[in-house]
Structure 1
Amino acid sequence: MAQKVLDVKNLSIDFDTLNGTVKAIRDVSFHLDKGETLALVGESGSGKSITVRTIMRLLADNETITNGTIDFEGKDILKESKKEMDKIRGGKIAMISQDPMTSLDPTMNIGNQVAEPLRVHEGMSKHKALEQAAEVLEEVGIPNARERMRDYPHQFSGGQRQRIVIAMAIIDNPDVLIADEPTTALDVTVQAQIIKLLKDLKDKIGTSIIFITHDLGVVANIADRVAVMYAGKIVEYGTVDDIFYNPQHPYTWGLLDSMPTLSMNSDRLNTIPGTPPNLINPPKGDAFYARNKYALKIDHEKQPPFFKVSDTHYAATWLLDKRAPKVTPPESIQKRQAEFKKRGEADHD
């Protein structure tokens, strides 16, 4: 049986604005197993980033946790003291941000920046920490790493800066690595290199990864399990094969249908019509109701529970209720599933 390293239960978060209180995260639960990569996917504003920032206890002044627990090593992170969180954050749980320039100090050379976690968390000497920093920079693929230890962030390319941020995150061998859209600002070639690097590092140091993205194409290449978020809630979760080959929630269908594929004849991408609901006044029923052409009357009146598809796969949609009419995924989704399967078989060969 897989060992849980992180267990989030019934997490709810509000944040105050001039217009009212936003119910940003609404009863979110998920877990992360040892050595696995869990992808949190969804549109911008779905709640992915605020969820992982809460794991790091990096909440803004106007954000309030109203319910839930986050279990790590048998303790609730939400109840830990600031002193204990300083030990956990960056040491046992580390984070890679979307924009490396916001994570790197422009006035400090990269050698000292990468070495800093070892000096803070391990009390390591400067000489030893710098030596280990050089080794990790070589490991993440910085050319001539030892010679470039005295260089500053602006002297590196975007892809190299992201590798430096990854080096900072992994140098203390964290149990959990949170990657918040780490490839969004990179071109496709560099993006593929960063994904491969994260996969290789996960295997080498045995860390567990939470990977945040809106791009399901990236998910297919890195994740073991996927949790799909919409309007502050998880609406479907399962293995990567469950989500790509047997998606059940209409929102997941929409995300998959928005992915570009090699067989697309049009020069336009498909999109999900409409916009997410206002979470100052969340809908009484299914939050996806107004954008869902398969919506039932009950979707407007009552939130769906999670229905079990398999032992690994659950989806919160009334379409899975035994009383609901039978609805099959759109033809475009079925074509994409066939293409995913063909691509997977080619990769396996």
Structure 2
Amino acid sequence: MTLIVESTENENLIEVNHLRINFNTYAGKVKAIRDVSFHLKKGETLAIVGESGSGKSVTTRALMGLNADNAEIAGGEILFHGQDVLKKSEQEMQQIRGKDIAMIFQDPMTSLDPTMKIGRQIAEPLRVHNHVSREKAMEQALEMLKLVGITDAEHRINDYPHQFSGGMRQRIVIAIALICYPEVLIADEPTTALDVTIQAQILKLMKELQEKIETSIIFITHDLGVVAGMADRIAVMYAGKIVEYGTVDEIFYNPQHPYTWGLLNSMPTLDTRSGDLSAIPGTPPDLLDPPKGDAFAARNPYALKIDAEQEPPFFKVSETHYAATWLLDPRSPQVVPPVAIAKRQDQWAKMHNADGELIRPEAPLPTPAAPSDDDRE
């Protein structure tokens, strides 16, 4: 069973349905994306989280037709305004890329042309897509440079990428992505190469720009902590599949999948001492030959016998929250999650009634208690 969230066509900018992508390699066919479905609404931020190799970037690059030459679309559809982009020609996709759907790539060091002044690089999408004059394009590039927070923009617009710091280069990459005011912005781990102080500034900037230009964001990351104040909804990916899906509060305070438990448990806190970091044991499965049942079973301390035999369907936790784990089956035995996760779930239960409705809408959820020594067992 694959997660399909019911919605009317005019509500969603993007709908991904039953997407499957393989990579043809010398060793065989890698089943990188295995039946993925999700949607993106106007003005919202969807975070896709998971370990390296889980399929986050492959999925979102398919939205822009940017997958590698050895990639094979094995099935599914990607609807943008109701039209399947997988059926569009390269020429048609070139009209969409940068104008309607733009991407911020992971490494600003390699995303910019070192031989071209940054003003020209920012203005280029405008000249290609909107066919404006060079003078007009440079005027708008200057305004965007100011908008992303580059000081002394009038002079720095004529500088080359090597004359900027890493954080400034990332701001320039964001300016290039936003210059045409795209409807959808894909941010592929845009803060990975930055220190935490600059990371926070970039995240704040993206949130402010999103409100100003009313764009929707797909935010890709392996770090749940990064999206805590950024996302509206979260999709957790593992081994080429979405395993849990819900609002940011549901994923942080009422997680249901053991893999999500592991991700949250591995987040360091201010009280985390040296040597006390938790980790998910083992390694992801080989997608040349995906496991028969639940792909996470071999690493799951809560795995049931059926996990090795049959892939779990999505179980409905609420109208917006789904998780693919046999632990949610009414017939499964009751398990006790890690102490830190149980505390989160207790806080969630105290704030909601039996129907899952927030008892005090005006009150934010409390900050999860810092784990004690016993929590890290």
TM-score, length-scaled by structure 2: 0.89
Q: What is aligned with 1:134?
A: 142
Over 3 Å counting, the alpha-carbon distance change for 1:17 and 1:203 in structure 2 is same
Q: 2:94 aligns with which of 65, 86, 94?
A: 86
Determine the structure 2 residue equivalent to 1:178: 186
Rounded Cα–Cα distance in structure 1 between residues aligned with 2:344 and 2:308: 30
Following the alignment from structure 1 to structure 2, what is the Cα–Cα distance between the partners of residues 268 and 106? 42
Match of 1:50 among 47, 58, 77: 58
Aligned counterpart, 1:6: 14
Residues 130-152 of structure 1, C-alpha deviation per residue, up to 9 Å, x if partnerless?
00000000000011111111100
Report the alpha carbon displacement of residue 266 of structure 1 after superposing the two structures with TM: 4.7
> Which amino acid is the alignment partner of residue 327 of structure 1?
V
Q: Deviations over 1:166-218 (max 9, x none)?
A: 00000100000000000001011100000000100111100000000000000
The runs of 5 or more residues in structure 2 that have no matched partner are 1-7, 349-363, 370-377
The one of 342, 346, 349 aligned to 2:366: 342
2:110 alignment counterpart: 102
Query: Secondary structure at 1:342's aligned position in 2?
Result: coil
1:120 to 104, 111, 128: 128
Q: CA shift at 1:118, angstroms?
A: 0.3
Quick one: which of 242, 261, 276 aligns to 1:268?
A: 276
Q: Secondary structure in 2 aligned to 1:85?
A: helix
Q: Secondary structure at the match of 1:235?
A: strand
Q: Tell me what 1:326 maps to.
A: 334
- SS across alignment from 2:280: coil
SS of 2:294 mapped into structure 1 = coil
Superposed, which structure 2 residues align to 1:153-192 within 5 Å? 153-192=161-200
Q: Is the 8 A contact 2:12 2:81 kept in 1?
A: no
Task: Give the match for residue 30 of structure 1.
Answer: 38
Residue of structure 1 in register with 2:74 after alignment: 66
Residue 262 of structure 2, aligned match among 254, 258, 262? 254
Range that drifts further, 12-21 or 149-158: 12-21
Per-residue displacement from partner, 1:208-232 (whole Å, max 9, x unpaired)? 0000000000010200000000000
Find 2:119's aligned residue among 111, 135, 146: 111
Q: Determine the C-alpha separation between the residues in 2 that align with 1:146 and 1:84.
A: 35
Q: CA deviation at 1:332?
A: 2.5
Q: Which of the numbers 305, 308, 316 marks the counterpart of 1:308?
A: 316
Aligned equivalent of 1:198, options 198, 201, 206: 206
Gap runs ≥5 in structure 1 = none
Sequence identity of aligned pairs in percent? 69
Q: Quote the Cα distance in structure 2 between the aligned partners of 1:81 and 1:170.
A: 24
CA RMSD in angstroms comes to 1.7
Which residue identity lines up with residue 342 of structure 1 in the other structure?
A: P
